[in-house]
A and B are shown apart, each in its own frame.
Chain A
Amino acid sequence: MAHVRVLVGTRKGAFILTSDGKREKWEVNGPFFGGWEIYHLKGSPVDPNRIYASQSSGWFGQLIQRSNDGGKTWEPVDNKFVYDGVPGTHQWYDGTPHPWEFKRVWHLEPSLSDPDAVYAGVEDAALFKSTDGGKSWNELSGLRKHGTGANWTPGAGGMCLHTILIDPVDPRRIFIAISAAGAFRTDDGGQTWKPINRGLRSNHIPDPTAEVGHCVHRIAAHRSRPNVLFMQKHWDVMRSDDAGDSWHEVSGNLPTDFGFTIDVHAHEPETIFVVPIKSDSEHYPLDGKLQVFRSRTGGNDWEPLSNGLPQENCYVNVLRDAMAIDSLDECGVYFGTTGGQVYASADSGDHWTPIVRDLPPVVSVEVQTLP
């Protein structure tokens, strides 16, 4: 019988939650790497027992851990992330040039075809790749050096490359997103890149429609339609039907279009999920009510989903990588909060149940659907 494995990264360690296909009873394992920040864990689609984890600490820096047995045991692999050539500068918060400095790995994206190949999105923003299971890392520096890098500026959370989407049809096409530079695309496996931010409007930057400088929070796509992208921007939920060449807003009737995470239903390419957050200065749900919003029309028309979620006195946040979708026949949706809860829905968001309530603040959630 199919089952699911939910990989949870928190501020104080990693947790692995497993259940059968009913997703009613859960086994919780962890913490792994207790006391360390785990920004992200993700398993290889080719070999689900191969899982990569980003482990970091303000004291000891960055580590990458790898498991070959579904998270039962781990081994540290290479943690040397060195920018290619002379790193140069980007813009600092005050507009002055600031040298590129590696801080941490925000996101790990395993290849769709090779368990030893994995991409790492890092702060200060850059894309690295390993082709030997994490034993060595090399920067795909065409992104940072394509021309606009000197104008990139950090968002409040740092200048992080947090989203990596590999086109399932053409793996040479990769989409990435950076706070606060925007979205970028390569069509040649990472050699050359171009900004794909036309149609985005950010009123908090000097030129609201600038080529770069937008605080993109996350991008998601359905595997069957890689040219259709959905974006949660700092403010605004956006959609592209041409692989990012142009975007239009689909915030529609959302009560607030600020938020961090966005994801797409496993079987319905026009069904998307967001978690609206009150504002960029108040990172919690509106009116103390935690609600996921679902659109079955690819945006614009949204419905609140709150059955099983706290509807009073709830002031948590849901971070950009903290939502995931399983691919069981009855699609499961998962998200984690900065209050340490991980919620699951086994019916596309209609009903929610907490799997765990008291973890450290949740940074990321991924789910593996296993045979």
Chain B
Amino acid sequence: MIRIVLPPHLRTLAKVGSEVTVEVVAPATRNAILDKLEADYPMLRGTIRDHVTLKRRPFLRFFACNEDLSFEPADALLPDAVVAGVEPFFVVGAIAGG
């Protein structure tokens, strides 16, 4: 079970708490867990990734295990601790705006 922490606005939109969990079949990649997240919570489609290109929205970042994974390939394997559910995968809104 992979744990995902969403930013507050997306928690409100998806009507979830601070963490959601998704189950994916190996290999556990970023695209795999976001695909499953969007399947479980369709209202999140387009809010984290572009609908068509599946590219990360520019003002969002992906963090896990104290690392910025935003620029890792979307099909790269996630860290073992994330796959094991020990550490969460963070979707973080950039600090910007007023």
Residues of A within 8 A of B (CB): 35-36, 57-63, 76, 79-80, 82
Is B51 touching A82 in the complex (CB atoms < 8 A)? Answer: yes
Taken together as a complex, chains A and B put the C-alpha atoms of A60 and B91 apart, in Å, by 11
A58 and B45 contact, CB distance less than 8 A: no
- Given known A80-B51, A82-B51, contact A60–B45 (CB-CB < 8 A): no
Residues of B within 8 A of A (CB): 7, 9-10, 13, 43, 45-48, 51-52, 57, 59-60, 93-94, 96-97
Instruction: State whether B7 touches A80 (Cβ < 8 A).
Output: no
Task: Knowing A58-B59, A59-B93, A61-B57 are in contact, say whether A76-B9 is a contact too (CB < 8 A).
Answer: no
Within 8 Å CB of B60, what residues of A? 59-60
Are B46's CB and A80's CB within 8 A? yes
Complex contact B57–A59 (CB within 8 A): yes
Q: How far is the CA of A36 from the CA of B97 in the complex (A)?
A: 12
Determine whether the beta carbon of A60 is less than 8 Å from that of B51.
no
| Contacting pair B9 A80 (CB below 8 A) | no
Q: Which 6 A-B pairs have the closest CB atoms?
A: A60-B47, A76-B43, A59-B59, A59-B93, A80-B51, A79-B46
Q: Count of A-B contacts with CB under 8 A?
A: 42
Complexed CA–CA distance, A35 and B12 (Å): 11
Chain B residues in 8 Å Cβ range of A35: 9
How far, in whole Å, are A326 and B2 apart by their CA atoms in the complex? Answer: 52
Report chain B residues within 8 Å CB of A82.
51-52
Complex alpha-carbon distance, A61 and B50, angstroms? 9
Cα–Cα distance between A140 and B75 once the two chains are bound (Å): 35
Q: For the complex, give the distance between the alpha carbons of A79 and B47 in Å.
A: 9
For this complex, 19 residue pairs linking A to B, each with C-beta atoms less than 8 Å apart, are A35-B9, A36-B9, A59-B7, A59-B9, A59-B57, A59-B94, A60-B9, A60-B10, A60-B57, A60-B60, A61-B57, A63-B13, A63-B46, A63-B47, A76-B43, A79-B51, A80-B51, A82-B51, A82-B52
Query: What CA separation (Å) do A19 and B47 show in the bound complex?
Result: 35
Chain A residues whose CB sits within 8 angstroms of the CB of B94 once the complex forms: 59
- Chain A nearest CB from B37 CB (Å) reads 14
Which of B7, B13, B51, B96 meets A58, CB within 8 Å? B96
